[in-house]
Homo-oligomer: A and B are copies of this chain.
Amino acid sequence: MTYAMIGTWAMALSGVQRAAATLAADGTAGDAVETAIQVIEDDPSLTSVGYGGLPNEQGMVQLDGAYMNGDNFQIGAVAGVEDVASPIALARLLAKERVNNFLVGTGAEAYADQHGLARKNMLTSGAKTAWQKRQVEVGQGGRLTPYDGHDTVGMIALDARGHIRVGTSTSGLFMKHAGRVGDSPQPGNGFYADSAVGAAAATGLGEDLMKRPLCFEIVSLMAQGMPVQEAMDKAVYTFIDQLQARNGAVGEFSYIALDHQGNFGVATNVEFQYAVFSDRVAPRLYLAMPGNDHHVTITPA
């Protein structure tokens, strides 16, 4: 049976490697997504996700994440949560509720406490040092540039029983305004999944990614019969051109996708690495380079 997984950025490789054993042993796509993302969340050396994520302008680490079940469209999402060890575990738990699926701030933290999820001070000394350094730079007249460290981890898994699940987890923009929410917890914008079709996940500048729900659009084009890579090229680059023309600026856009037959796709307007694994391919990294022709060039990384 076909099973497959894809994740954003080079950091995804360690998560995909861990989850590969789950999928190969007839594990569920949901367990694969949660396991893979937790590896990233737990790694203090990664500055854009979970523990070690860079803080907001007030020095607080505020985390966003989401989980979607492609069988029944149930979604769980959190934004602006502090000191919750695994935002993806919290999002997955919320996806089982009939209502109150998307919680923010202290309300989300209370739910985590009520359900026995682990709490943890997510600010590492390294992240604190980076924040203090930036504060000094800003105090000396340096421009406040929040465009760093916004690398969301997105993971999509297809298991041998045909279930597709997608998850995201991020600390968002370094030096973001308190309470800022990006695309990652927003269905359609940061992620989308339909087990009969496929799934997509996004990373980049959330404020631009949320201007059109491209993850949904990619899945929708695939549902109309378009191959996964063609669907991504059409959805992503058409909108990048339109946004440039209509708003005069375009942030970083990178998307991964997986169809229900285990085929991968990627679209990006910046150099972008991603990790894949399937019953046919051992876990490995690829590098996608955007071309001028609205296609990417893909090479082993």
Partner of A213, one of B108, B182, B187: B187
Cβ distance A116 to chain B, nearest Cβ, rounded Å: 16
Partner of A104, one of B98, B104, B188: B104
Interface 1/0s, chain A 58-78, versus B by CB < 8 A?
000000000000011111010
Partner of A177, one of B103, B180, B210, B217: B103
A110→B105 CA distance, assembly (Å)? 14
Residue A246 lies at the interface, judged by CB distance under 8 Å to chain B: yes
Whether the Cβ atoms of B104 and A74 lie closer than 8 Å is no
Whether the Cβ atoms of A104 and B75 lie closer than 8 Å is no
Interface 1/0s, chain A 98-141, versus B by CB < 8 A?
11111111111011000000000000000000000000000000
Chain B residue contacts of A97, Cβ below 8 A: 207
Chain B residue contacts of A212, Cβ below 8 A: 73, 187-188, 216
Cβ distance A244 to chain B, nearest Cβ, rounded Å: 11
Whether the Cβ atoms of A74 and B108 lie closer than 8 Å is no
Whether the Cβ atoms of A176 and B104 lie closer than 8 Å is no
Residue of B nearest to A245 (CB): B72
Chain B residue contacts of A282, Cβ below 8 A: none
A299→B252 CA distance, assembly (Å)? 47
Residue of B nearest to A180 (CB): B100
Residue A91 lies at the interface, judged by CB distance under 8 Å to chain B: no
Residue of B nearest to A246 (CB): B72
A110→B58 CA distance, assembly (Å)? 12
Residue A178 lies at the interface, judged by CB distance under 8 Å to chain B: yes
Residue A268 lies at the interface, judged by CB distance under 8 Å to chain B: no
Chain B residue contacts of A187, Cβ below 8 A: 186, 189, 210-213
Chain B residue contacts of A110, Cβ below 8 A: 178-179
Q: With A243-B73, A247-B72 given, is the CB distance from A146 to B207 under 8 Å?
A: no
Residue of B nearest to A216 (CB): B213
Cβ distance A114 to chain B, nearest Cβ, rounded Å: 10
Residue A33 lies at the interface, judged by CB distance under 8 Å to chain B: no
23 example contacts (A-B, Cβ-Cβ < 8 A) are as follows A73-B212, A74-B211, A75-B207, A77-B181, A79-B104, A79-B181, A98-B207, A99-B146, A99-B173, A99-B176, A99-B180, A100-B173, A101-B207, A102-B180, A103-B177, A104-B104, A104-B179, A107-B177, A187-B189, A187-B211, A189-B213, A216-B216, A217-B220
Query: A: which residues have CB within 8 A of B?
Result: 71-75, 77, 79-80, 97-108, 110-111, 146-147, 173, 176-182, 186-189, 205, 207, 210-213, 216-217, 220, 243, 246-249
